[in-house]
Amino acid sequence: MAEDFWKRFKKNKMALMGSVIVLSLFAVSFLASWLAPYDPSEINLQEVLMPPSTSHPLGTDQLGRDVLSRMIWGARISLKVGFAATGVAIFIGTILGALAGYYGRWIDGLIMRFVDIMLCFPTFFLILAVIALLEPSIWNIMIVIGLTGWMGITRLVRADFISLKERDFVLAARVIGASNLRIIFVHILPNAMASVLVAATLGVAGAILTESALSFLGIGVQPPTPSWGNILTAGKDNIDIAWWLSLYPGLAILITVLGYNLLGEGIRDSMDPRLR
């Protein structure tokens, strides 16, 4: 099965492109200490808003900080937020979806009505409201994005469980006396992880985009911690004289989200039995 998946994945050029982007982002994040030419928080008032040059390839910001260094360290922040927030959403969505799909009846009804209620609220405005009540910090952002992003995963896992719980291997597990928890987590859940993996890949992209938007509005990652969103904020304030502060972080967000989306779609297509 793994060989078939890899053969189909290799034929998908867009998925391979997404993989290259994602792996490059990982490399930049892990090697930030060596790749960044300057301290991302170092202020130099003699080099304020300098355009791109040999000494500062992406220019400097309103405090004379090197934009390239801040972009490199900002990649680490984006990865951290993306994976932590998606991890929270995956955990909640998988547990609730598994319970709803396996037990059905009133448990399913209760969980799915709660999902419907959560979907009634515009997610981004719900995040804004919660963040406004809390102290803006990277940890609060991770948790809030995760707590507002589990509904789609719940629906995916529930649908898989409804289908899988009637399969022969589940009936065999019941016959030999396996408990419900063992059937859920040992027998059914591993077979439902394909859709969860795709949702997680796409969820990371969404979490990175949400964090960037919150930081752009000033209620996300707080300075002096570098973030692509707060670099964009500086670009907005100096758009007439410092175009590079808007262009480069905007491109970084665009390419990163595109990479994760391409990778997620490639994984989904490679796992789709109708395309075999």
pLDDT in tens, 27-43: 999 999 899 999 998 88
Is 43 domain-assigned? no
Contact 273, 1 (CB under 8 A): no
Name the residue with higher pLDDT: 240 or 22: 22
Higher pLDDT, 176 or 274: 176
Mean pLDDT to the nearest integer, 232-241: 84
Look at residue 49 and tell me if it is in a domain. Answer: no
Cβ contacts of 130 within 8 Å, gap of 6 or more: 144, 148
The fraction of the chain above a pLDDT of 70, given in percent, is 97
* Burial tier of 211 (Cβ tally within 10 Å: 0-12, 13-18, 19+): buried
Mean pLDDT (the chain, rounded): 87
pLDDT at 170: 87
Q: Sign (positive/negative) of CA torsion 23, 24, 25, 30?
A: positive
Give the C-alpha separation, 147 to 156, whole Å: 17
CATH number at residue 204: 1.10.3720.10
Inform me whether the pLDDT recorded for 199 exceeds 80: yes
Distance CA 30, CA 76 (A): 7
In a domain, 174, yes or no: yes
**Domains of the chain: total:** 1
- High-pLDDT (> 90) share of the chain, %: 37
Task: Find all residues with CB under 8 Å of 219, minimum gap 6, and list them.
Answer: 128, 131, 132, 136
Question: Does the pLDDT at position 273 exceed 60?
Answer: no
Instruction: Report d(CA 165, CA 197) in Å as an integer.
Output: 20
pLDDT the model gives residue 98: 93
> Which of these ranges, 49-53, 151-155, 217-221, 225-229, has the smallest mean pLDDT?
217-221
Answer whether residue 94 is part of any domain: yes
Name the pLDDT band for 1 (thresholds 50, 70, 90). Answer: low
| Count of helix runs (H) and strand runs (E) in the chain | 13, 0
Average pLDDT (247-256) is: 92
d(CA 146, CA 131): 13
Residue 37, in any domain of the structure:
no
The stretch 196-207 carries a mean pLDDT of: 88
In a domain? residue 262: yes
Please check whether residue 242 is in contact with residue 59, taking contact to mean a CB–CB distance below 8 angstroms.
yes
| Chain Cα centroid distance, residue 52 | 30
Task: Tell me which residue range forms the domain holding 211.
Answer: 13-29+60-271
What's residue 272's pLDDT? 61
Q: Determine the pLDDT at residue 269.
A: 79
For residue 152, tell me if it sits in a domain: yes
- Average pLDDT, stretch 163-180? 86
Judge residue 1's burial from the number of C-beta atoms within 10 Å of its C-beta, 0-12 exposed, 13-18 middle, 19 or more buried: exposed
pLDDT attached to residue 2: 65
Structure confidence at residue 150 as a pLDDT band (50, 70, 90):
very high
The secondary structure of residue 222, as a DSSP letter, is P
Q: Residue 35 domain-assigned?
A: no
